[in-house]
């Protein structure tokens, strides 16, 4: 299984910056063709048709996590959207039941392990969602459980959806060879080098080839999950959720050429990381029924500034709106409090957070956070 370190390590950015200084290279992705609404609609329809359920009855969806590290938004958002849609039986699963460490923030409890899922659903899942996963020290004997399980689920006919750098996990399971794919911009070259027969598709936030779907960076999970909801539950169900989340469109339209590390971005990142005296803990008081999506967006964005460690504070474990159990941090301290704005839709909350980051750390730092999230829409901060 490959590694997805988040936020991007400063040593990786330094190496990239030096390379760019020497070679003058940047992203090798050219600009997309002019926007064409008909093409976008056609791409969206093709994805929805390709990912529709194969079997009768209520679909079964498994969202798999690695106990030692799974990306916060990739997991919490996909789980929350699918639970809220009420179109399928949705299960969070991991190699071991119990605690799952999310990164860059939070810990959760997962009650179903892979073996118990297989016992409950011997014919396999209809869909398996694979978030980005991190790895402090490779242990292929342990991580092989996830890879072999994904192969088995695919063999049963499950649609596998690799979210963000979850595409690396899907590829290591042998499921992207000779298939079209996309992934988080930072890990594109790594995936292409390790799996040279996989075929990269730029300028689409989500792609499907046979029963394997992949997405670009973290925030692409929103349009991808809405497309999956539409495929299973219909256009109106997806539209209602989109309105609830603050989303106007969920087509795969994307400008991949905007995302990549050039020399100026690399220098900005390194100078920011050198300002270690600005580092601080930020406390978020979590309560039962809290919105998973808004919480994930805010914690993820603040963490990616390179200066904030977000900690969940509560006297006991809490159950988020989706039903997932969040475990408070033991420290739970932090002089600065992360406050979610009441009544803001999740995308509005993300925009508000980005505006706050810009106010505190500057526009270049806000743009870096948007790069890591692969968020294509600059927020309007006039009213923030």
Residues 247 and 284 in one domain: no
Residues 121 and 249 in one domain: yes
Residue 4 domain-assigned (yes or no)? no
Residues 54 and 109 in one domain: yes
Measured distance CA(318)–CA(330) in Å, rounded: 14
48: domain CATH number is 3.40.50.880
Predicted pLDDT of residue 23: 37
Residues 14 and 122 in one domain: yes
pLDDT tens-digit profile, the chain (384 residues): 433 444 454 444 444 444 443 333 345 678 877 777 888 889 999 999 999 999 999 999 999 999 999 999 999 999 999 999 999 999 999 999 999 999 999 999 999 999 999 999 999 999 999 999 986 434 444 468 999 999 999 999 999 999 999 999 999 999 999 999 999 999 999 999 999 999 999 999 999 999 999 999 999 999 999 999 999 999 999 999 999 999 999 999 999 999 986 545 455 554 554 444 357 999 999 999 999 999 999 999 999 999 999 999 999 999 999 999 999 987 656 678 998 998 999 999 999 999 999 999 999 999 999 999 999 988 998 754
H/E element, 37: helix 37-50
Residues 75 and 201 in one domain: yes
Report how far apart, in Å, the C-alpha atoms of 126 and of each of 33, 55, 123, 152, 348 are: 35, 8, 9, 12, 32
Residue 351 domain boundaries: 278-373
Measured distance CA(122)–CA(117) in Å, rounded: 8
Predicted pLDDT of residue 289: 97
Predicted pLDDT of residue 33: 77
Predicted pLDDT of residue 333: 61
Burial per residue of 347-383, b for 16 or more beta-carbon CB atoms within 10 angstroms, e otherwise: bbbbbbbbbbbbeebeeebbbbbbbbbbbbeebeeee
Residues 97 and 28 in one domain: yes
Residue 246 domain-assigned (yes or no)? yes
Measured distance CA(87)–CA(266) in Å, rounded: 43
Residues 68 and 113 in one domain: yes
Residue 5 domain-assigned (yes or no)? no
Predicted pLDDT of residue 139: 47
**Domain tally for the chain?**
2
Phi, psi of 55 (to 5 degrees): -110, 155
Residues 244 and 303 in one domain: no
Residues 70 and 181 in one domain: yes
Domain final position from 256, 286, 312:
256
Residue 282 domain-assigned (yes or no)? yes
Supply 262's token pair.
């050039």
Residue 137 domain-assigned (yes or no)? yes
């Amino acid at each position: 299984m490959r590694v997805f370190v988040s936020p991007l390590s400063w040593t990786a950015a330094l190496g990239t910056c030096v390379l760019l200084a020497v070679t003058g290279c940047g992203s090798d992705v050219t600009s997309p063709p002019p926007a064409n609404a008909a093409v976008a609609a056609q791409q969206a329809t093709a994805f929805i048709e390709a990912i529709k359920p194969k079997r009768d009855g209520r679909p079964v969806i498994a969202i798999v996590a690695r106990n030692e590290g799974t990306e916060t938004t990739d997991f919490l958002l996909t789980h929350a959207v699918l639970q809220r849609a009420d179109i399928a039986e949705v299960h969070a699963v991991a190699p071991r039941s119990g605690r799952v460490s999310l990164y860059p923030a939070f810990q959760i409890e997962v009650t179903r392990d892979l073996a118990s899922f297989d016992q409950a659903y011997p014919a396999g899942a209809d869909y398996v969602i694979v978030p980005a996963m991190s790895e402090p020290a490779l242990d292929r004997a342990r991580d092989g459980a996830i890879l072999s399980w994904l192969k088995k689920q695919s063999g049963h006919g499950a649609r596998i959806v690799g979210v963000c750098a979850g595409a690396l996990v899907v590829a290591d399971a042998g499921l992207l060879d000779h298939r079209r794919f996309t992934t988080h911009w930072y890990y594109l070259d790594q995936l292409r080098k390790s799996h040279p027969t996989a075929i990269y598709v730029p300028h689409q936030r989500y792609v499907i080839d046979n029963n394997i779907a992949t997405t670009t960076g973290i925030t692409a999970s929103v349009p991808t999950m809405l497309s999956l909801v539409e495929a299973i539950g219909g256009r109106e169900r997806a539209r209602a959720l989109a309105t609830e989340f603050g989303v106007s469109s969920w087509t795969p339209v994307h400008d991949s050429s905007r995302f990549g590390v050039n020399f100026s971005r690399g220098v900005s990142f390194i100078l920011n990381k050198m300002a270690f005296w600005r580092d601080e803990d930020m406390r978020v008081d979590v309560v039962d029924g809290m919105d998973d999506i808004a919480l994930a967006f805010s914690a993820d964005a603040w963490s990616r500034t390179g200066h904030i460690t977000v900690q969940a504070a509560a006297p006991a474990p809490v159950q988020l709106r989706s039903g997932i159990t969040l475990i408070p941090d033991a420290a739970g301290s932090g002089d600065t409090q992360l406050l979610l704005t009441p009544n803001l839709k999740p995308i509005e909350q993300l925009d508000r957070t980005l505006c706050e980051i810009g106010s505190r750390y500057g526009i270049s730092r806000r743009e870096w956070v948007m790069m890591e999230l692969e968020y294509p829409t600059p927020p309007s901060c006039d009213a923030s």
